[in-house]
Amino acid sequence: MKPTAKRFLLATWGSNGDLHPFLAVGSALRRRGHEVAMVGFAMWENKIRGAGIEFIPMGKDPFGEDHELDPDIFSARRMGLISLRTLMTKYVEPTMPPMLEAILGSAGRFDLLLAHSFLVVAPIAVAKTRIRFASASLAPGVIPSAWTMPAGAYADPWTGPLGRFFNRQVWRIGMRMARPCVDPFANRLRTKHGLAPCRDAVFASASRELHLQLYSPTFAARALDWHPSLRHAGFCYWDELDGWEPPAALRKFLEEGEPPVLFTLGSSAVQQPENFFESAETAVRRLGLRAVFLMGRRAAGDRSRGGKIFAGDYAPYAWIMPRCAAVAHQCGIGTVAQTLRAGKPSLLCPYAFDQPNNAMRLRALGAGILLRRGKRRPKDFERALRWLLDDPGPANVARRMAEAISAEDGPAEAARLLEEFAGR
């Protein structure tokens, strides 16, 4: 029997890697006959409406195309604490009040709110409106567990009983360090709306009834101590291919020779690339490799850079990655998802946020080689690229993971779980 149509309100925040999975889930809900709206930044309006989803504005995007990011947002100091503090004070605090007002002003029309797990205002909206509430995490490094390490840690989890004890202590230290960055402003908003203060607000923002994990269990399996509310859906891909045509120069470059290595830093880290592109270019020239650099605004147009190197501003990952031999990237979860779907080995160059944890997981799985920050000189890239391309191991692992992921349908499974939850 077909479920009764419901009205879903979606709310997310961040970069394209945070928006695209929500677009995929929203579109899957619409295909199943439900009404869907999304609260988001003004610059997302065309993407949201283009997906057939109602758009509810909530203010200017702090990561907008015309905004130069503070370098400290990618700082690796103090286990990522500097990065978190910069993110919260300069980018989260100014946007959460308008996000909350947008949700409060529209929640009455909807049956269920699906919010990004980072939205510390979601519990406030739920308490004020009594709307049913589900949340979604896009990467595994934000789920505390004795079997894992936190997002900002450049370390593999310890094993065995003593190892799990140590992992718990690392999580406790990380949460204690995060409290002064998040709790004060979150609790100011809670007090303003007549609610008691909470502790560890960034972790208390998830639903205790349904907390979707929008990544593949092939990438990060369920931990034994996960709460029952945590449910895997799978990666939720959103491919922006409609109306996009590759530049003639890029198509010609790809057709002229062997598959190149792709160098990309997503939509955020590309604004503060450090020496990534310069060191990589020196390395590929020394090795005689073909390469594509996606450099955002720094590309100064799509053009060849000396025969074997092409530099451009943008190409959809779903189109470009299958045409490449390997991918060097920042390990943002959206880029990781696309690299795994394409079955390509990775040169792992994480910066901040969830990226170190994603990188450590891919390295542990055998799908990539890690280049830590501070070790990204031309000779480091040269050595890592030679190893990545000469050793068949990472490519074989990546292909096997791609086969497993191809059998999953993350948006459909997420929509099914939301539908089931809304119907209880």
Lowest mean pLDDT: which of 32-46, 268-282, 391-405?
268-282
In this structure, the strands spanning 303-304 and 309-312 are antiparallel
Supply angle C-alpha 168, 371, 323, rounded to 5.
115
Rounded to 10°, the helix 333-342/355-365 angle is: 30
Residue 223 inside a domain? The answer is: yes
Instruction: Confirm whether 138 is domain-assigned.
Output: yes
Q: Do 413 and 400 share a structural domain?
A: no
CA distance 263 to 260: 10
Does pLDDT of 169 surpass 70? yes
Does position 8 have pLDDT exceeding 80, yes or no? yes
Structure token digits, residue 99? 């996000």
Q: Between the CA of residue 182 and those of 90, 120, 188, what are the distances in Å?
A: 12, 9, 10
pLDDT 10s digits, 358-391: 999 999 999 999 999 889 999 999 999 999 999 9
pLDDT of residue 88: 81
Select the highest-mean-pLDDT range: 12-26, 138-152, 350-364, 395-409. 395-409
pLDDT value at residue 83: 77
Separation between Cα atoms, residue 73 and residue 328, nearest integer Å: 21
Shared domain for 23 and 71, answered yes or no, is yes
Residues 412 and 377 in one domain: no
CATH code of residue 256: 3.40.50.2000
pLDDT in tens, 39-71: 999 989 999 999 999 999 986 655 555 456 777
Residue 301 has a pLDDT of 57
Helices 96-106 and 122-129 pack at an angle, to 10 degrees, of 30
Any domain includes 273: yes
340 and 326 share a domain? yes
Domain co-membership, 144 together with 212:
yes
pLDDT per position as a tens digit, 224-270:
999 999 999 999 999 877 778 999 999 999 999 999 999 999 878 78
In a domain, 243, yes or no: no
Quick check: is 1 in a domain? no
Residue 165 resides in a domain: yes
pLDDT digit string, tens, across residues 135-147: 999 999 999 999 9
371 and 412 together in one domain = no
Which pLDDT value is given to residue 243?
Answer: 78
For residues 393 and 416, membership in a common domain is answered with no
The pLDDT of residue 353: 86
C-alpha count within 13 angstroms, C-beta hemisphere, residue 221:
7
Average pLDDT, the chain: 92
Burial (CB count within 10 angstroms: exposed 0-12, middle 13-18, buried 19+), residue 26: buried
pLDDT of residue 60: 62
**Are both 226 and 253 inside the same structural domain?**
no
Q: Check whether residue 282 and residue 230 sit in a common domain.
A: no
What is the chain's length?
424
Same-domain pairing of 41 and 133 = yes
Q: What is the mean pLDDT of residues 331-351?
A: 97
Q: Is 328 helix (H, G, I), strand (E, B) or coil?
A: strand
242 within a domain of the structure (yes/no): no
**Residue 145 contacts residue 226 (beta carbons within 8 Å):** yes
Q: Which residue has the higher pLDDT, 132 or 272?
A: 132
Mean of pLDDT values over 197-215: 96
pLDDT per residue as tens digits for the range 104-118: 999 999 999 999 999
In a domain, 212, yes or no: yes
What is the pLDDT, as a whole number, of residue 89?
A: 81
Write out the residue range of the structural domain in which residue 209 sits: 7-235+408-422
Q: State residue 45's pLDDT score.
A: 94
Residue 329 has pLDDT above 60, yes or no: yes
Q: Is the pLDDT of residue 306 over 80?
A: no
Same domain, 253 and 221: no
pLDDT for res 77: 67
pTM: 0.93
- So what's the pLDDT on residue 62? 59
Tally the domains of the chain.
Answer: 2
Looking at the fold, whether 221 and 253 belong to one and the same domain comes out as no
Share of the chain above pLDDT 70, in %: 94
**pLDDT above 70 (res 5):** yes
Q: Which residues are bridge partners to 8 per DSSP? A: 36, 112
